[in-house]
């Protein structure tokens, strides 16, 4: 039996062979990440940030035949995951001012050096013992100056046996453990003791050590790429520390590649300066790239799926593996042909090029809404809209690679469990299984918001202080409830527009704010973007010369739950902030008011999402 080709694994835990075998360059800004400079890479969870960073690791690049040895690489990149358990723990909040800055920076430095030492140890066969020993001695010298003591960690004679890099890694591990013990034991002390450990910094420790890395005889004489993954897991004081590193512009020795999940709270340094692009860093927003370049995203996703199918010895093409609902496709083609024919009949000039283009546009805009009204019009209709097919799965993923792989993986497992595949392999995912998995996968996306609204927060952050970090917002029960209401209101409103045959724009999937939102609404919208329920882009407002308004796009993953048309480009609604404030508190009132406002003067609409029907009454 072949293995599941769509299995989603934590990029931190997979080996270089897995990354080299499965990684596909997803976006055109990828070469910028390889340039000598500091770069912030933003993107929602699942957009492939970690996989992107790990593809730059030396072992992966060598496996991809971009070099034969470490010495031949254009740069040396080390991946440093910034886990919540390491840097988002509550003990950091017990310290204020200089203490948290100094101890936090030291802890961050030790994590970086630990990963550097582990990387060099894995290539110790290509580095001479003399060169490696010189590196260890330089580390010990700097560590002692910083207030640490290597001699007290282990027996010196024993520690110098084997790889010098392993000795450095062990020293870093022990020091990280000591610092964490100091922090977690503070609540149990009657008085705060002085911190007596090392205090290593960026300029006086990490930069000199990076220069020593360049001197190693088996390593290219190039800046060290330090790839800090999920930096919004850092507390705000540590984000300021990291920004201070960026502001030094020490890219001749260290280039910082920093990823965030759209929740990086500040761009200020320790001395309150703001780091700015492009002088201090370059910036890439993966979510914006995928949203704006859907054709590019679709092609790259096609490459990923093709590669995974071939790696599992599955010979089906991508479209053969994810077939469409043929009966639905036939009906859609018939509706489209009817729309074009009616448009030609009404517009006598439609035979010219402009008229033909307009006819095709009419078909694109109204074919699926017409079909959805057709199957929603009768409560006896057993047919529901099918979201099966590769193109549909691409749209549902909303630019998040993991959102394609997760449902595909479930579909594959269900085919195996139900014994529907050929012995030893699977050649296609039946439409019925695609639809069943998609329906459950779409609905469960809202479950975390529902769970949060029923839980009592352990720690309530003062909202007036602004957004602290991604993990801190996880305790904001009120924010989650307001976001849940907002999403519900938008989903039901878009469904109502879809079922309104008189609406000029029936395929709506986004709103454009016509005014500046209040802080409360802005916090809810920002949370929605960070958690992937919404995507944000800028829209050039026609009513304001040169003005741009924020546009919030509902994640297409929610389309099946609200029974929306997810295909291709959809229109937007202009809306005022006060309307969304109503939605945050009462989605039902928001939907009724907006449909009444947008509808004809003599019609009202009542939505029954569970029954999937439209009631229409004339006053």
Complete DSSP assignment for 530-570: HTTSEEEEEEE-TTSTT-EEEEEEE-GGGHHHHT---SS--
Query: Does 470 sit behind a cis peptide bond, omega within 30 degrees of 0 on the bond before it?
Result: no
| pLDDT higher than threshold 80 for residue 469 | no
| pLDDT higher than threshold 90 for residue 616 | no
What is d(CA 461, CA 463) in angstroms, rounded to the nearest whole number? 6
Q: What is the pLDDT of residue 221?
A: 94
> Checking DSSP bridges between strand 282-285 and strand 508-513, what pairing results, if any?
unpaired
Question: Quick check: 298 and 26 in contact, CB under 8 A?
Answer: no
What is d(CA 163, CA 117) in angstroms, rounded to the nearest whole number? 10
Beta bridge partners of 554: 534
pTM of the entire predicted model = 0.79
DSSP 205-255: IIHHHHHHHHHSTTS-SS-EEEEEE-GGGS-HHHHHHHHHHHHTT-TTTEE
Question: Quick check: 385 and 375 in contact, CB under 8 A?
Answer: yes
| pLDDT higher than threshold 80 for residue 617 | no
Average pLDDT, the chain: 83
How many Cβ atoms from other residues are within 10 Å of residue 35's Cβ?
12
For residue 90 the two structure tokens come to 């509550």
pLDDT tens, position by position, 80-95 = 999 877 876 676 666 6
Q: What is the pLDDT of residue 596?
A: 86
| pLDDT higher than threshold 50 for residue 462 | no
What is d(CA 285, CA 29) in angstroms, rounded to the nearest whole number? 9
What's the distance, CA 83 to chain centroid?
16
Lowest mean pLDDT among 183-192, 324-333, 382-391: 183-192
Question: Quick check: 79 and 229 in contact, CB under 8 A?
Answer: yes
- At 200, the pLDDT band (50, 70, 90 cuts) reads very high
| Tokens 């195996």 sit on residue | 416
Grouping H, G, I as helix, E, B as strand and the rest as coil, residue 370 is: helix
Contacts of range 377-381, beta carbons closer than 8 Å, 24 or more positions apart: 377/613, 377/614, 378/613, 379/611, 379/613
Best CA proximity match to 61, nearest among 138, 123, 112, 3: 123
For residue 278 the two structure tokens come to 């492009």
For residue 542 the two structure tokens come to 């026609």
Considering only residues 542 and 347, tell me which one the structure prediction assigns the higher pLDDT: 347
For residue 503 the two structure tokens come to 């609406």
CA torsion 478-479-481-483 (nearest 10°) is: 160
Nearest 5°: phi and psi at 209? Answer: -70, -35
> Checking DSSP bridges between strand 76-81 and strand 224-229, what pairing results, if any?
parallel
For residue 176 the two structure tokens come to 């990280």
Q: What is the pLDDT of residue 600?
A: 36
What is d(CA 165, CA 171) in angstroms, rounded to the nearest whole number? 10
Best CA proximity match to 93, nearest among 186, 177, 189: 186
pLDDT tens, position by position, 227-285 = 999 998 898 899 999 999 999 989 999 999 999 988 888 999 999 999 988 889 998 88
Widest CA span in the chain: 94
> Residues, the chain, total?
619
Please list the helix, strand and coil fractions of the chain in percent, rounded to the nearest 5, in that order: 55, 10, 35
Structural domain boundaries of the chain? 30-292, 445-619
> Checking DSSP bridges between strand 254-260 and strand 39-42, what pairing results, if any?
parallel
The DSSP H or E segment spanning 67 is none
Q: What is the pLDDT of residue 286?
A: 79
What is d(CA 483, CA 583) in angstroms, rounded to the nearest whole number? 9
Q: What is the pLDDT of residue 260?
A: 92
| pLDDT higher than threshold 60 for residue 222 | yes
For residue 191 the two structure tokens come to 């008085």
Across the range 95-112, mean pLDDT stands at 89
Q: Return the axis-axis angle of helices 326-346 and 353-376, rounded to nearest 10°.
A: 130
For residue 76 the two structure tokens come to 């040396």
Question: Quick check: 326 and 430 in contact, CB under 8 A?
Answer: no
Share of the chain above pLDDT 90, in %: 51
| pLDDT higher than threshold 90 for residue 134 | yes
Share of the chain above pLDDT 70, in %: 81
Considering only residues 398 and 350, tell me which one the structure prediction assigns the higher pLDDT: 398
What is d(CA 297, CA 27) in angstroms, rounded to the nearest whole number? 7
pLDDT tens, position by position, 1-45 = 568 899 888 887 888 888 888 887 655 566 778 889 999 998 887
Best CA proximity match to 410, nearest among 434, 374, 376, 443: 434
Across the range 595-604, mean pLDDT stands at 59
């Amino acid at each position: 039996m072949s293995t599941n080709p769509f299995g989603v694994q934590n990029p931190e835990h997979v080996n270089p062979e897995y990354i080299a075998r499965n990684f596909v360059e997803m976006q055109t800004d990828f070469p910028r990440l390889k340039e000598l400079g500091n770069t912030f890479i933003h993107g929602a969870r699942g957009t492939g940030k970690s996989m992107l960073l790990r593809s730059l690791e030396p072992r992966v690049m060598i496996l991809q035949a971009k070099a034969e040895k470490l010495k031949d690489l254009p740069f040396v990149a080390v991946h440093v995951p910034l886990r919540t358990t390491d840097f988002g723990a509550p003990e950091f909040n017990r310290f204020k001012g200089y203490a948290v800055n100094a101890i936090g920076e030291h802890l961050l430095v030790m994590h970086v050096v630990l990963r550097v030492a582990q990387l060099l140890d894995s290539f110790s066969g290509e580095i001479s013992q003399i060169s490696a020993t010189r590196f260890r001695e330089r580390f010990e010298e700097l560590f002692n100056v910083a207030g640490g003591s290597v001699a007290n960690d282990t027996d010196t004679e024993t520690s110098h046996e084997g790889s010098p890099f392993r000795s450095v890694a062990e020293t870093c591990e022990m020091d990280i453990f000591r610092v964490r013990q100091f922090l977690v034991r503070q609540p149990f002390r009657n008085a705060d003791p002085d911190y007596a450990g090392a205090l290593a910094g960026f300029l006086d420790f990490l930069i000199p050590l990076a220069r020593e890395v360049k001197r190693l005889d088996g390593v290219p004489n190039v800046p060290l790429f330090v790839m800090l993954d999920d930096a919004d897991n850092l507390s705000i004081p540590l984000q300021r520390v990291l920004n201070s590193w960026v502001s030094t512009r020490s890219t001749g020795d260290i280039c910082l590649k920093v990823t965030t999940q759209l929740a990086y709270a500040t761009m200020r340094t320790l001395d309150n300066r703001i780091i700015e692009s492009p002088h201090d860093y370059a910036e890439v927003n993966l979510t914006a790239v995928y949203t704006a370049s859907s054709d590019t995203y679709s092609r790259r996703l096609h490459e990923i799926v093709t590669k995974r199918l071939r790696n599992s010895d599955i010979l089906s093409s991508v479209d053969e593996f994810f077939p469409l609902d043929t009966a639905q496709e036939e009906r859609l083609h018939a509706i489209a042909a009817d729309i074009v024919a009616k448009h030609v009949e009404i517009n006598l000039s439609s035979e010219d090029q402009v008229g033909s283009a307009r006819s095709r546009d009419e078909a694109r805009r109204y074919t699926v809404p017409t079909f959805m009204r057709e199957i929603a019009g009768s409560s006896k209709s057993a047919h529901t809209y099918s979201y099966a097919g590769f193109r549909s799965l691409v749209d549902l993923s909303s630019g998040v690679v993991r959102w394609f792989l997760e449902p595909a993986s479930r579909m594959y497992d269900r085919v195996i469990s139900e014994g529907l595949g050929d012995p030893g392999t699977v050649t296609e995912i039946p439409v019925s299984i695609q639809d069943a998995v998609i329906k459950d996968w779409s609905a469960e996306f809202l479950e975390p918001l529902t769970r949060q609204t029923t839980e009592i927060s352990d720690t309530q952050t003062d909202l007036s202080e602004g957004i602290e970090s991604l993990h801190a917002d996880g305790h904001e029960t009120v924010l989650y409830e307001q976001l849940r209401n907002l999403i519900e209101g938008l989903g039901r409103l878009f469904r109502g527009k879809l079922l309104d045959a008189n609406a000029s724009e029936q395929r709506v999937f986004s709103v454009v704010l016509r005014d500046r939102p209040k802080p409360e609404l802005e916090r809810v919208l920002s949370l929605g973007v960070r958690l992937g329920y919404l995507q944000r882009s800028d829209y050039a407002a026609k009513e304001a010369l040169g003005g741009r308004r924020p546009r919030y796009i509902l994640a297409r993953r929610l389309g099946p739950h609200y029974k929306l048309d997810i295909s291709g480009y959809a229109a937007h609604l202009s809306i005022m902030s006060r309307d969304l404030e109503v939605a945050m508190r009462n989605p039902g009132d928001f939907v009724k008011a907006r449909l009444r406002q947008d509808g004809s003067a003599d019609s009202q609409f009542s939505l029954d999402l569970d029954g999937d029907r439209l009631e229409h009454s004339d006053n």
